[in-house]
Structures are given as C-alpha cells and as structure tokens.
Structure 1
C-alpha cells in the first residue's frame, strides 16, 4: 500500500529544523492505512512539547494534516492539500504519553474531500483533539518524490 509506505517513510526521517513535518512525524507508527481510514500511534517526544511538557498545538495540526492526506491517498493515488482546517481541542497530551491518531474520509464534493481526524490518549481513550479538514487536488506526486 503506497499511502502507508509514504507515511512510514516520513516517520523514519530524522527531525531537522528545516522540515517541520518531519519533526512532527518522526516516530509515528502506522497501524493501518486502507479504504479511506488511517490508524497510527505516536509517543510524544520532548522536542514537540511546550515549557510545561504538553504536546504543542502546531505539531498536532501538522500530524492531522499529513495523516488526513494519507487517508485520502489510501483510496486514490492522489495527494490532496488542505484548503480548510478546523481543530477542536479537548485535553492535553504530555511528553512520553502515547496517543492514537485515526483519520477517515467522510465526504466527497467535486474535487474536495472531507477528512475527520481524532486524536485520543491510548490508555484512557480520552479525546485530545478533533480536526475537520477539507482537502483539494495537488499536482504533487508523493510516491515519486525523493525524501
């Protein structure tokens, strides 16, 4: 499955300051990616936390954006980019806490696809955040790019 392999390749990139998405995704574990649904787990590293040790909201948004795109790629060989992103935050995740990230395609309207991403604490299943993304076609081909 090309979508799963692409996300897994991003998870293996060493974090560097020049590539924010690689910093936010380094270490993500892809459990499954097929039929418009992606399930991942992620242990919050120290470099993605704020002064109090909580997962930074910008890093959460980046994870939602990429995992949402992979949900679409799991059904079509197309990279779509976010045109609208709304995130509701419910609780905070801390350094070394493991979370589950689940993205699912919900609706198709013309060239737009809606994806919903849920992030929950792995142990308690407490909701951390929900993202609603509308994504549109991009001419980029992630499966052909060199990482």
Structure 2
C-alpha cells in the first residue's frame, strides 16, 4: 500500500517522475488538453448526426499497463460526442450532464481505432449521443459511451436541429 505522502507526490507530479508518457502543463497553450488527446484524429465520414473517425493510438495516451488510458478514452467520448452535436447546426454544445463509458477491450500503441459518434437526440435543452471505439482491423469493440449535454444556451440562439 502506498503511503499518503507518496500518493500526494504521484498526483502532484502527474505520474511517476520517470514516466516516459508524462508531460508538464506549465506554459502550455489554452485547450492544450483537447489537442493532447485528439492530435492525429482523422475524420473518415461526416454527416448530420454522425461522425466516423480513425486514430492510431499514440504512446502518450498509454496507461501504466501500456494500453489506451481509460481517461483518454472517456475524453474521446466527450470530445467526439460533443462534435457530433455540431453537425446538427449547434453553435456550441453546453456542458456535460452525464458521461458513461463501458470499457470492453484494450487498445495498444500504434493500433488503429475507429470512433463512431451518433446523435441519439438533440432537443432544445438536452443532447444525447453514443460513441463507440472499435479496433479498425477486427471491428472488436474497445469501449462504448453515452454522453448527455445540457444545451439550454441554444435557446438564446434559436437553435433547431
């Protein structure tokens, strides 16, 4: 069991001191986190209410077990799920109300993953999307997510999907 001070140091340093996937945040540009996660994402198909993109897993997004970090997966569900709302004409997406991710398999460095996001419902106040990550070579599901966004800000902009 880790001592409390060790846990504190681990969290404050963003991982172990010898972590090759580590990064310092000081001095990074605004919205660095989104770019850090999504750099290398390619859009393969886009239409109103649906996006399919692909992504080779970069080593920077691996966890200690050397597979795609669950937090990176959840962030992809968040960001790609939000983007599919934009395809329906939304000027902005609002805040997350709920995000759920079921982790079903692992993805490793340089493995190509397909991410499919679908808008299930986009109304006046709430948008609900589903996001699935699959291994591109086999179609095997890595993770399934559902993301609910509060869209009330759209009422001021006459947003109608």
TM normalised by structure 1 equals: 0.79
The RMSD of aligned alpha carbons is: 2.0
| Alignment counterpart, residue 73 of structure 1, candidates 86, 103, 108 | 86
The total of aligned residue pairs comes to 126
In structure 2, the residue matched to 1:30 is: 43
For 2:104 and 2:148, the matched residues in 1 are separated by 21
| Alignment counterpart, residue 62 of structure 1, candidates 52, 75, 84 | 75
Please identify the structure whose Cα radius of gyration is greater: 2
SS, match of residue 117 in structure 1:
strand
For 1:23 and 1:52, the matched residues in 2 are separated by 20
The alpha-carbon distance between structure 1 residues 16 and 114, as it changes in their structure 2 partners (threshold 3 A), is farther
TM normalised by structure 2 equals: 0.72
In structure 1, stretches of 5+ residues that fail to align are 1-14, 141-147
The alpha-carbon distance between structure 1 residues 61 and 90, as it changes in their structure 2 partners (threshold 3 A), is same
SS, match of residue 95 in structure 1:
coil
In structure 1, the residue matched to 2:130 is: 116
In structure 2, the residue matched to 1:8 is: none
For 2:85 and 2:47, the matched residues in 1 are separated by 9
The alpha-carbon distance between structure 1 residues 112 and 139, as it changes in their structure 2 partners (threshold 3 A), is closer
- Please list the CA deviations of residues 23-69 of structure 1 after superposition, one character each: whole Å capped at 9, or x if unmatched: 11000001122211011000000010012210001111111111111
In structure 2, stretches of 5+ residues that fail to align are 1-22, 155-161
In structure 2, the residue matched to 1:101 is: 115
Bigger strand fraction: 1
* 8 Å CA contact 2:126, 2:152 repeated in 1: no
* 8 Å CA contact 2:43, 2:52 repeated in 1: yes
The alpha-carbon distance between structure 1 residues 79 and 60, as it changes in their structure 2 partners (threshold 3 A), is same
